[in-house]
């Protein structure tokens, strides 16, 4: 039974990766902060010795040797700071140094197979999201460190730069150590319900705040637009498909260059999501934004080529966006009740 180390195991994507690994028969060592050990361990206690935890307080500074000790085959590195996780300096240091330190620890422990959660922001800069272009997995975001500190730089700019620099570090490492088998996964906006072991203290965080915004807010509010300065166009993927992609990557044969796969499976708009929720959950109509017919035009935006994801990685039969929206809404309502009862 193969043992896989998953960093960020108590997070949104990481918890789903753990779920998928356990579903497919792997044993998992979940790397989490000490404050989350008890909660995630309880979530997976039914798996017995197939799920264990290891403590990593800070990927940029903590000793990683104990976490990786005894790893026979693979590491899935998911942990990375969100767009609003701190100052630009902290976000960049955690994202880049955290990634390089995982790579170096894997090298020291002779672990040869790594799957790393990247982003579509690793491929193109924020300015290019809103251009009528088509890109594939060979693209690289040209952002530089100093771009995160330019006047007018937003939290998403900082996030984009952090992903670009971390991705560049992975490429440099692969060139220096061609024997390492490295795959990077590049999802667009990720939505979906919480994972089994996800630790949360609020109803929604990260990208799911957009979904929660469909049912949380003042009555009669308009449909939100797409802020070109701080977010991507309507390019989306279900978190469960993201998890499947990570596990599929473990099964690919080695290659001389890093394997890179884009995940983006739907393009629903907020107006479409609101109409769908109103249809399947009419009890929520009073909580939804009001569609006037005068919503802002979205305009041209980047097209993401996922042919390699389907033909090489083998990821197909995606979760439909309607199921993503409904499952997420239902899960957020569950969390609302749970937190209100505490």
- Residue-wise pLDDT tens digits, 296-320: 888 899 999 999 999 999 999 999 9
Predicted confidence band of residue 225 (pLDDT cuts 50, 70, 90): confident
- pLDDT mean across residues, the chain: 93
With CA atoms as reference, report the closest residue to 64 among 96, 20, 108, 4.
108
**E strands, the chain, in order:** 3-7, 27-32, 51-55, 74-77, 113-117, 134-135, 181-187, 189-191, 236-238, 259-263, 303-304
DSSP lists the bridge partners of residue 191 as 238
Distances (CA, A) of 149 to 14, 37, 152, 276, 336: 29, 35, 8, 40, 37
- Global pTM reads 0.95
C-alpha atoms less than 13 angstroms from C-alpha of 96 in its C-beta half-sphere: 18
Which pLDDT score is estimated for 25?
96
Contact status, residue 173 vs residue 220, Cβ threshold 8 Å: no
High-pLDDT (> 70) share of the chain, %: 98
160-199 pLDDT, tens digit each? 999 999 999 999 999 999 999 999 999 999 999 999 999 9
27-72 pLDDT, tens digit each? 999 999 999 999 999 999 999 999 999 999 988 888 898 888 877 6
Phi-psi region of 285 (alpha: psi -120 to 50; beta: other; left: phi over 0): alpha
Q: Which residues touch 264 (CB under 8 Å, ≥6 apart)? A: 120, 187, 188, 235, 236, 237, 304, 306
Distances (CA, A) of 22 to 114, 237, 267, 271: 18, 21, 30, 36
**Residue 154: is its pLDDT beyond 90?**
no
**Residue 73: is its pLDDT beyond 90?**
no
**Residue 108: is its pLDDT beyond 70?**
yes
């Amino acid at each position: 039974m193969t043992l896989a180390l998953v960093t960020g195991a108590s997070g949104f994507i990481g918890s789903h990766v753990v779920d998928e690994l356990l579903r497919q028969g792997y044993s998992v060592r979940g790397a989490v902060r000490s404050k989350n050990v008890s909660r995630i361990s309880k979530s997976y206690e039914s798996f017995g010795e197939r799920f264990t935890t290891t403590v990593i307080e800070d990927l940029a500074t903590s000793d990683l040797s104990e976490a990786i000790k005894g790893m026979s085959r693979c590491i899935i590195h998911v942990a990375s700071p969100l767009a609003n996780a701190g100052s630009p300096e902290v976000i960049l240091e955690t994202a880049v140094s955290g990634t390089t330190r995982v790579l170096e620890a894997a090298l020291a422990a002779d672990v040869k197979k790594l799957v790393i959660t990247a982003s579509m922001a690793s491929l193109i800069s924020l300015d290019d999201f809103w251009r009528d272009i088509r890109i594939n997995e060979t693209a690289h975001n040209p952002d530089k460190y100093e771009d995160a500190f330019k006047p007018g730089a937003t939290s998403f700019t900082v996030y984009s730069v952090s992903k670009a620099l971390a991705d560049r570090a992975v490429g440099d490492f692969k060139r220096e150590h061609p024997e390492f088998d490295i795959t990077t996964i590049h999802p667009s906006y990720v939505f979906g319900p919480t994972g089994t072991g996800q630790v949360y203290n609020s109803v929604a965080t990260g990208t799911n705040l957009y979904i929660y915004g469909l049912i949380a807010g003042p009555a009669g509010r308009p449909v939100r637009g797409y802020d070109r300065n701080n977010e991507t166009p309507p390019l989306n993927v279900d978190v469960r498909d993201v998890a499947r992609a990570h596990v599929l990557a473990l099964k690919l044969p080695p290659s001389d260059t890093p394997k890179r796969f884009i995940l983006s499976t739907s393009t629903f708009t907020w107006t479409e999501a609101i109409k769908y929720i109103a249809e399947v959950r009419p009890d929520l109509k009073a909580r939804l934004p009001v569609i006037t017919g005068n919503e802002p035009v979205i305009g041209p935006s980047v097209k993401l080529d996922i042919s390699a994801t389907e033909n090489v990685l083998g990821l197909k039969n995606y979760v439909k966006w309607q199921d993503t929206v409904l499952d997420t809404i239902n899960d957020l309502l569950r969390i609302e009740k749970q937190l209100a009862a505490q």
